[in-house]
Every structure is written in C-alpha cells, then in structure tokens.
Amino acid sequence: MTAHASHTRTVFRCLAVSVLLVLLSVPTVWARSPLVAEVRIFSGRYHENLARLDTIREQLEQAIKADPDVDDLVALAQVCFIWGDIRAVTDSQKLDAYERGRQAAKRAVEVDPRNAAAHFWYATNTGRWGQTKGVVRSLFLLPIVQEEIQIILDLDPQFTAVYALAGNVFYEVPGFLGGDLNKAEQMFRKGLEQDQKFTGMRLGLAKTLIKKGRIAEARRELHVVLDEKEPRNLADWLMKDAKRARELLEFIP
C-alpha cells in the first residue's frame, strides 16, 4: 500500500468517526425530526387519514413532555388547530383543542420570540377559540390576536398565512371594536398577491365581497376556488374551502 493511499484511508476513518460523534451528540434532534417533518407534509394531506391526526397529536404531546423543543411545540399547535377544525364534534372538544394549541404555541414563543410560525399558531388558535366561544364572550383575547398579527408582519411580511388571519379578524370583529371590511379586503388581496392558490384566502375575500354587496365579484372568486386544480393545501380545499364555496354560491342571489 502506498503512503498516499494509507493517508487517504486515515482521513476517511477520521471523518467517519467525527460524523458519528456529531450524530451521537444530538440524538434528540434526530428523534424529533421525523414527526415534525411528517406534520409539514401531512398538514396538506390529512384528508387521506383523519385518524392519523389523533396519533400525531398524542405523539407530539408526549414529545414535549420529555423535551419542549420549539419545532415540536409549533407542530403540536398546528395539529391541534387542524384537529379542532376537522376531528372535534362538540364545541367543548373544539375549545379544548384550540386551547391546547394556543398553550403549545405560547410556550414556543416564550422560547423563541422571533419565530413567526409560533406567533402565527398562537394567534390562530387564540382567534379560533374566541370565534368558537363567541366574539362578545372572548373580547379580552382580541388585543392578543391583533398584537400577534402585527408581530408576525414585522418579523416576516412574506408569511402569507398571516394575511388570511388578519383579513378574517377585520371581517369577523364588529366595527366598533376595530372590524373593517375595507381592511379585510386589503389583507386578503395582499395575501393573494403572494399566493394565488391559497384557496382559504380567496374564500375570505369572497365572503368580504358578499358582505360589501359586490355579489358578482364574490361569485367569480368562489368559482375560482372551486375550479382550482392545484390548491396550496389540498386537504383544506377538500375538507373546508370547496364545501364552503358551494354553500355560499347557493346562498347568494
């Protein structure tokens, strides 16, 4: 064996040992990443196996008990929101799911204050909890949601989903508490500028146009929702957006 070959093998052995030491030093990261990665994919395909939502939520709750990692907390907050929307049957189940998601996201924000996704799921679960409870009975939460929206916009104005959240807040909240249909339309259109295939955003725009009396425009937006061939989130489109678009088309004159 030549000296050069011997040296090359020594280098590769050292490299292999170094890589192994790195892997052994961060076992929790490798243990968590498959579940977090699954949520990122599954959140757009949950319609294929709704029962899997139950398992993922349980696994994430166990994971954060052992180690409250930010990515796990954010993933749990997202899954809790989906579970509350899709799996919960009663208002009590919905409120419990959104509250779990809210608390998980709040913990993530405390650990990583500059994590836009953590702020988003904190605000989204809080908003949905309030919507389920009733606007009047949950007014104390409105300033929290509004503050979180502004934080997300300051951290990352390209975080498209925040415009859907902001639009829905301006749409749902009474005018004397800060609701504003013009601002709602502005938020939804801003979000669609960033992502034309975000069907939930377009649905929000359609609802706003209906409330503003612009029925023909709203009808066009609803048909775009139904005709979308590549929705950004297929599961949301199938389970929520397309159904709601059909309902609204039957409702409006």
Buried/exposed code over 162-178 (b: 16+ C-beta within 10 A; e: otherwise): bbbbbbbbbbbbeeeee
Contacts with 163 (C-beta within 8 Å, 6 or more apart), sequence order = 187, 188, 190, 191, 194, 201
With CA atoms as reference, report the closest residue to 106 among 59, 158, 141, 133.
141
Q: What is the pLDDT of residues 132-190, one digit of tens each?
A: 998 767 788 999 999 999 999 999 999 999 999 999 999 999 898 899 999 999 999 99
Q: What share of the chain is helix, strand, coil (3-state, %, to 5)?
A: 80, 0, 20
Distance CA 72, CA 94 (A): 21
Q: What band does 14 get if pLDDT is binned at 50, 70 and 90?
A: very low
CA distances from 10 to 22, 24, 164 (A): 19, 21, 56
Structure tokens at 31: 């243990």
Could you say which DSSP state residue 135 is in?
A: T
3-state secondary structure of 45: coil
Please give the mean pLDDT across all residues of the chain.
88
| pLDDT above 80 for 13 | no
Q: What band does 5 get if pLDDT is binned at 50, 70 and 90?
A: very low
Q: What is the pLDDT of residues 62-94, one digit of tens each?
A: 999 988 899 999 999 999 999 999 999 999 999
> Considering the entire predicted model, what is its pTM?
0.85
Q: What φ, ψ does residue 233 adopt, rounded to 5°?
A: -125, 100
DSSP 61-121: HHHHHH---HHHHHHHHHHHHHHHHHT--SHHHHHHHHHHHHHHHHHHHHH-TT-HHHHHH
27-145: CATH homologous superfamily?
A: Tetratricopeptide repeat domain (1.25.40.10)
CA distances from 71 to 66, 143, 173, 214 (A): 14, 26, 31, 42
